[in-house]
């Protein structure tokens, strides 16, 4: 028996992760490093990015603090990295606003970060030949793209756009042997869950009860799905969306 046999290993892979200073991106960076990958992590907040960097297993990782909501920031990031095997387009922002309260600058803020940034980053990485043949690109979408929650319309629209882009990219980049997929988390316990302060503990618990597994997810649980999509074990999967929500989207 070959005891080194492990199609899920990330050993020898270089991985670029956006939104690595917090939540899902942070956990994914740490878990990927524990699976043997070399990481390039990015986010805006230098202090929190450093905390992630200090938590990475192994050596030879890189960190670049940059705001990716504009083309200059994305270009700085792309110029600062070497070619990678995997790209996690994960950075994102959310808002909870009924339709009548959505302002133009809020639409721009959400679309710039959640849609424009991952499109530009993927575009520039491809143009500059910085995603290796056999590479894997993963996008963080959301079950909000399917499950309607009051006040979630604008955020859901950004994730719908992102998922649509992912599918087109999967077809276009297949000729370069680059795969594209998306993860669609339900509620995951990270700082982005802004709703916690604005709703009562009772409502919070009621929300949890709508999850068949009776809890929200952890960032590590999303990381483990992303690891699968980065690994050679998923090499025949492209253009797919993976719901990870403890069963929440099964019922209304």
Which tokens in the block code for residue 45? Answer: 């907040």
Q: Is residue 228 among the annotated active site residues? A: no
Q: Which of 5, 8, 146, 155 is catalytic?
A: 155
Cα–Cα distance between 208 and 188 in angstroms, integer? 11
**Residue from 16, 40, 91, 161 in contact with ligand NAP (CB under 6 A):** 91
Cα–Cα distance between 94 and 116 in angstroms, integer? 15
- In the region spanning residues 165 to 194, those forming contacts with ligand NAP, defined by CB under 6 A, are 185, 187-188, 190-193
Cα–Cα distance between 144 and 84 in angstroms, integer? 30
Rg (CA), the chain: 18
Q: Which is nearer to ligand NAP, 45 or 55 (CB)?
A: 45
Task: Round to the nearest angstrom and report the end-to-end CA distance of the chain.
Answer: 48
Of 185, 213, 109, 198, the residue nearest 150 (C-alpha): 198
Mark 222-251 with x for binding to ligand NAP (rule: CB under 6 A) and - for no binding: ------------------------------
Cα–Cα distance between 205 and 241 in angstroms, integer? 28
**Residue from 15, 35, 41, 68 in contact with ligand NAP (CB under 6 A):** 68
Q: Which is nearer to ligand NAP, 4 or 111 (CB)?
A: 111
Mark 111-150 with x for binding to ligand NAP (rule: CB under 6 A) and - for no binding: --x--------------------------x-x--------
67 binds ligand NAP (CB under 6 A): yes
The one segment of 14-22, 130-138, 165-173, 203-211 that binds ligand NAP by CB under 6 A: 14-22
Angle of helix 71-80 relative to helix 117-127, nearest 10 degrees, comes to 40
Q: Which is nearer to ligand NAP, 37 or 64 (CB)?
A: 64
Question: Residues 241, 244, 245, 248: is their CA dihedral positive or negative?
Answer: positive
Which tokens in the block code for residue 231? Answer: 């690994």
Q: Known catalytic residues? A: 155
Judged by the rule CB under 6 A, the positions of this chain that interact with ligand NAP are 18-19, 21-25, 43-45, 48, 67-69, 90-94, 113, 140, 142, 185, 187-188, 190-193
């Amino acid at each position: 028996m070959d005891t080194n046999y492990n199609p899920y290993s990330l050993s020898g892979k270089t991985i670029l992760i956006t939104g690595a200073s917090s939540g899902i991106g942070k956990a994914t960076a740490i878990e990927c490093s524990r699976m043997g990958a070399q990481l390039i992590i990015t986010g805006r907040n230098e202090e929190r990015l450093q905390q992630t960097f200090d938590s990475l297993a192994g050596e030879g990782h890189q960190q670049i603090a940059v705001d990716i909501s504009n083309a200059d920031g994305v270009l700085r990031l792309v110029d600062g990295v070497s070619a990678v095997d995997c790209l996690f387009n994960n950075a994102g922002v959310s808002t909870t606003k009924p339709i009548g309260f959505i302002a133009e600058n809020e639409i721009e803020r959400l679309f710039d970060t959640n849609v424009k940034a991952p499109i530009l980053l993927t575009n520039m990485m491809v143009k500059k030949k910085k995603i290796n043949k056999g590479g894997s690109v993963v996008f963080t979408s959301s079950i909000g793209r399917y499950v309607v929650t009051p006040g979630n319309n604008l955020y859901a629209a950004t994730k719908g756009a992102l998922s649509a882009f992912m599918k087109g990219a999967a077809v276009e980049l297949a000729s370069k042997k680059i795969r594209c997929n998306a993860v669609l988390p339900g509620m995951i316990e990270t700082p982005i869950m802004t709703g916690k302060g604005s709703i009562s503990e009772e409502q919070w618990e009621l929300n949890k009860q709508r999850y068949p597994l009776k809890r929200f997810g952890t960032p590590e649980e999303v990381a483990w799905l992303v690891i699968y999509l980065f690994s050679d074990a998923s090499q025949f999967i492209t253009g797919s969306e993976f719901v990870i929500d403890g069963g929440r989207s099964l019922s209304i």
